[in-house]
Amino acid sequence: MRFSHIAGIVGCTTAAFITIAPIQVEAATFKVESGVTSIDRDHENILRSIGLIITGTEDTVPPIPSDYLVGFQIDSASNFTFSDEGGFTPLFGTIEHIGTVTFNEQTTVGNFSIGFAPGRTIPNASGLVLRDTISSANPILFDLGAPQSVIFDEQNLTLTLADVQLLISPEFAQTLGDSSLAGLFAGTARIDAKVAAVPEPGSALAILAAGAALLAARFSTQKTKYIY
């Protein structure tokens, strides 16, 4: 093998190391453990306009802030994980909730699950969806817009995702018998969560970050605030 070939291999190896090295710097990942997801009062008014009247709730909690309509406790079964590398970057998992809502005294949905669903076509959606898990089919009720602000307090291990738009999903619109409702703004949600640090090896973090690239891109326009 010629010296020039060896030099080329060394050069490529060095370049690869320089490219990968920043990923090896320790960057914490975090997992949602508890908290409250709250729904603003605009949600009730908009749903009422399309014939869905909230007639009851069960196992709900006070919302944050208190002038919101209702709060759903985040269940300990949640495993939603995100990175703070380069801003708020969802990686995988779901945020599970406790609590139900009844519409028109006959249809009950609840124990909601928030997670990523690939291939969503609703404009302005983030790729995150809200599912009803009361039904065995776990239908998607709403596509979620990217939060308008993200506040991550690494010292106190809290995460706030504020002003998250709820957009009626195509599946829910079909259930309602009006496909034109798909994508309709149906209110605002807010997530206030307690999180825990989850140490990740650098290589594993790189794989997870790459797999979340599409979702991260959809969050690129949000305002993120970090508290250290």
Domain boundaries, the chain: 26-227
Long-range contacts of 178-185 (CB under 8 A, 24+ apart): 178/50, 181/50, 182/122, 183/122, 183/123, 183/124, 183/143, 184/46, 184/50, 185/46
> 22-55, pLDDT tens digit by residue?
444 454 899 999 999 999 999 999 999 999 999 9
Report the C-alpha gap between 117 and 11 in whole angstroms: 41
CA atoms 168, 143, 217, 213: torsion sign? negative
According to the model, what pLDDT value does residue 87 have? 85
Tell me the residue ranges of DSSP E strands in 81-215.
81-83, 89-92, 94-98, 100-103, 107-110, 113-116, 125-131, 140-145, 149-153, 158-168, 185-198
Q: Please say whether the beta carbons of 163 and 156 come within 8 A.
A: no
According to the model, what pLDDT value does residue 62 have? 98
Report the C-alpha gap between 158 and 163 in whole angstroms: 17
The tokens of 17 are what?
């190391």
Report the C-alpha gap between 37 and 29 in whole angstroms: 21
The rounded average pLDDT for each run of 10 residues, N- to C-terminus, in the chain (228 residues) is: 42 38 57 98 95 97 97 98 90 97 96 95 94 94 97 96 98 95 97 91 53 57 58
Instruction: Determine the longest span between alpha carbons in the chain, in angstroms.
Output: 81
Closest alpha carbon to 164 in 119, 205, 114: 114
According to the model, what pLDDT value does residue 218 have? 59
Phi, psi of 181 (to 5 degrees): -75, -15
| Chain mean position to CA 113 | 10
Closest alpha carbon to 30 in 205, 187, 210, 223: 205
User: SS3 of 60, please?
Assistant: coil
User: SS3 of 206, please?
Assistant: helix
According to the model, what pLDDT value does residue 85 have? 85
According to the model, what pLDDT value does residue 61 have? 98
Label the pairing between strands 125-131 and 113-116.
antiparallel
Across the chain, mean pLDDT equals 84
